[in-house]
A = this chain, B = another copy of it.
Amino acid sequence: MLKPGDTIGILGGGQLARMMTLAAAPLGLKCHIFAPEGDNPAFDVAAARTIAPYDDIEALEAFARSVAVVTYEFENVPARTAEILSALVDVLPNPRALETTQDRFIEKSFIRNLGLLVPDFLPVDSVESLMAAVATLGRPSVLKTRRFGYDGKGQAMLKPETNLADAWSAIGQSPAILEQFIPFEREVSVVAARNAAGALVTYDVAENRHAHHILAETTLPAHISDETERAAKEAASRIGSALDYVGVFAVEFFVVGTGKQEQLLVNEIAPRVHNSGHWTLGGAETSQFEQHIRAIAGWPLGSVKRVGRIEMHNLIGSDVDRWQDFVTEPGLYVHLYGKAESRPGRKMGHVTRVLP
């Protein structure tokens, strides 16, 4: 169990690391950020920084020795990095969560084995296997690299007219899966936290709207039945326990059908704090960031009570230029990430309205 004054190591220096660091401070915990050269806004709020590549063994070992626990803000932590750190210090969530979620094929197989629904999928490792998979799953369907995909990167939609060799090239001819296309009614997610004692809490289900594959807006409550809300939380709970997970994670779902036919398919698991949980800053009694820190510190989890109806908007690229409007709106929760440069598609901040 960590105690006030201890230092948490965080891999990654982006906004998620920054918000975790800001949440750790009131708990009396310091953060040491490990990130490669670049625009690392978490550095501005952290007690210590290491600037080094993720494969710098010497830097990783010094980092591991300087902290009480290591966590991360992104799921693509190299396996070797996690291994080097794990030899010296607790890495939480445990590296098994990374292994399971870094590879879409392993991830979806894991989820299906828990008895949860996922879109049908098949592994693809060549144009030939892609053709065979398309013969089974039909079109439209979605070709996704097994690894390193996020915000729609590494994906290609296969339409009736798509040339399969072109699609295979488009995703870089990397090991992939072909996934059944799901004409969903809506996308929802559950942010959950679990601690080493096995206590697990789930925030209310969030409804997410994406634009250009990037989360644009999260609203709560989600437009789903109470039964579906319960099922989503139960699915997250089952996933967290099966991974022996410690920390915050998110499960994204497709909602298909309506009324009595409403059903959930798991889309993916994010083994980290998640953009669809940013509303918890100001919108819940404990933010997902504090919750993650509590979980990895071995402390009791906080209250997940939602304090109102929620509308969270991401500020993407030049959206942040409207900051004066946001800081003028009474009661609006404004969170800017302190990034040096705004680029199209870059997450620059978010704002949350909490309505009675």
When the two chains form the complex, which single residue of B26, B43, B323, B331 contacts A28, counting CB atoms closer than 8 Å?
B323
Output the least CB separation between A86 and chain B (Å).
26
- Chain B residues lying within 8 Å of A22, measured Cβ to Cβ, are 22, 25-26, 45
Say if the beta carbon of A110 comes within 8 Å of chain B: no
Are B44 and A338 closer than 8 Å at their CB atoms?
Answer: no
Q: Report A329-356 CB contacts with B as 1/0, cut-off 8 Å.
A: 0110011111010000000010000000
Given contact pairs A25-B18, A28-B349, A320-B4, A327 touches B47 in the complex (Cβ within 8 A): no
Question: Using a CB-CB cutoff of 8 Å, which residues 282-328 of chain A contact chain B?
Answer: 285, 294, 299-300, 302-303, 305, 320, 323-324, 327-328
Given contacts A21-B45, A28-B338, 18 further A-B contacts (CB under 8 A): A3-B323, A5-B338, A22-B25, A22-B26, A25-B44, A26-B281, A26-B334, A27-B327, A27-B334, A30-B44, A44-B46, A299-B324, A300-B327, A300-B328, A302-B331, A303-B330, A303-B331, A305-B331
- Enumerate chain A interface residues (CB-CB to B < 8 A): 3-5, 18, 21-22, 25-30, 43-47, 281, 285, 294, 299-300, 302-303, 305, 320, 323-324, 327-328, 330-331, 334-338, 340, 349
